[in-house]
């Protein structure tokens, strides 16, 4: 097993066209699919801003915009709008509205 290069030890060390070559040297294998090829699955999450990664970082009208920018969403429903459901809780500081508006360690903070 030590001297012969055609044994199991040589199959994983010396031969580059066997299983180790598929994962280390070939760029079309699974390792190259995530590291070298930019047109594969990683390009959807790294380069393109229109995919899931772009939905949470670049676009302000997506889900992050609903909680950060827009005042009519759930975050604005508890902070800015006084005629909606928070109007029932804004006068009293001991109710649920006071837990989200006053405390900085709560969900809105």
Residue 11 and residue 38 in one domain: yes
Over residues 12-16, mean pLDDT: 49
Q: Which residues span the domain enclosing 96?
A: 51-109
Encode pLDDT of 39-64 as tens digits: 444 444 444 444 444 444 444 444 44
Res 103: pLDDT: 46
Whole-number pLDDT of residue 28: 43
The count of domains in the chain is: 2
- For residues 73 and 36, membership in a common domain is answered with no
Identify the burial level of 78 via C-beta atoms within 10 angstroms of its C-beta, where 0-12 means exposed, 13-18 middle and 19 or more buried: buried
Q: For 26, which DSSP code? A: -
Tell me: do 17 and 39 sit in the same domain.
yes
pLDDT for the residue numbered 2: 53
Co-location of 101 and 58 in the same domain: yes
Averaged pLDDT, 65-93: 47
CA distance 17 to 14: 9
User: What is d(CA 28, CA 66) in angstroms, rounded to the nearest whole number?
Assistant: 40
Task: Please tell me whether residues 33 and 59 are part of one structural domain.
Answer: no
Contact 77, 85 (CB under 8 A): yes
């Amino acid at each position: 097993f030590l001297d012969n290069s055609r044994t199991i030890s040589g199959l994983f060390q010396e031969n580059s066209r066997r299983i180790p070559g598929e994962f280390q040297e070939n760029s079309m294998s699974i390792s190259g699919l995530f590291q070298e090829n930019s047109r594969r699955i990683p390009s959807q999450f790294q380069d393109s801003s229109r995919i899931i990664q772009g939905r949470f970082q670049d676009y302000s009208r997506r889900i992050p915009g609903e909680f950060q920018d827009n005042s009519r969403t759930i975050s604005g429903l508890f902070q800015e709008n006084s005629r909606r459901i928070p109007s029932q809780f804004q006068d009293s500081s001991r109710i649920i509205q006071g837990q989200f508006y006053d405390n900085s360690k709560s969900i809105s903070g």
